[in-house]
Amino acid sequence: MSTPARRDATASTARIRASAREEFATHGFEGARVDRIAARAGVNKALLFQRFGDKAGLYTAALAEIAEAATAARARIASQYPDGIADGAQFRALVRDLAVGTQRLLESDPTARGMLAWERAAGWVAFHSARPETTDPAADLIAEWFRAAERRGWLRAGASAEQHLALCLELVCAVDSRDEGFVGELVADALAPAVTS
């Protein structure tokens, strides 16, 4: 059984994390202010620094939460293809599923959408310097499927498999529509020509 002090520490850490995500989603990494994060969380800055080190530590923690949700979403998508990707039509379905899964993640978490929008605008600089180290077997598998699709001509020419994967996220973020079918088809049309073999 947890002690009251442990429950309080857990609750205050959760408030700090939530406050940080709101701040980063609203102001980006550069515009975020630690004093606003602490005030919103109802803690003093010393406690915030004790738990997270500095603003970059807070940002890494916020990104880790987003990465955890994205990892789970990718695992769900990859599990829909237990035998891999057999043809161009199945690859196109994978692209559509990735787009829809990404949209659902961003719709369910507006702070993730806000943070990623700031990162896109800033060239992903803070993201790359603060990115938490994670293990993501589903992401590795999906990347391999994209590389295989590139070799087989299932991706549109002109960009690498890695660029196409990044473009999937970019397109979902750029399209302001709650219509999953529309977003999924738009991304599939942009990345994968309608092929059946």
- Write out pLDDT tens, residues 6-36: 668 889 999 999 999 999 999 999 999 999 9
In a domain, 149, yes or no: yes
Judge whether residue 69 has pLDDT over 50.
yes
Assign residue 96 the CATH number of its domain. Answer: 1.10.357.10
Structure token digits, residue 124: 């992903």
CB atoms within 10 A of CB 42: 11
pLDDT band at 124 (very low <50, low <70, confident <90, very high): confident
pLDDT of the residue at 166: 87
- The structural domain count of the chain equals 1
pLDDT of residue 197: 45
Is residue 119 situated within a structural domain?
A: yes
Structure tokens at 86: 């057999």
pLDDT given at position 120: 84
Q: Over the stretch 89-104, which tens digit does the pLDDT of each residue have? A: 999 999 999 999 999 9
Distance (Å, whole) CA 110 – CA 88: 33
Task: Please report the pLDDT score of residue 196 as a whole number.
Answer: 46
Q: Which long-range contacts link 39-47 to residues 24+ away (Cβ below 8 Å)?
A: 41/12, 41/15, 41/16, 42/12, 42/15, 43/12, 43/15, 43/16, 47/12, 47/16
For the chain, counts of helices (H) and of strands (E): 10, 0
Give the domain extent around 90. 4-191
197 part of a folded domain: no
176 assigned to some structural domain: yes
pLDDT digits (tens, 9 = 90+) for 136-171: 899 999 999 999 999 999 998 888 898 998 889 889
- The whole-number average pLDDT for the span 39-67 is 92
Asked whether the beta carbons of 110 and 18 are under 8 A apart, the reply is no
The DSSP call for residue 133 is P
Is 196 within a domain?
A: no
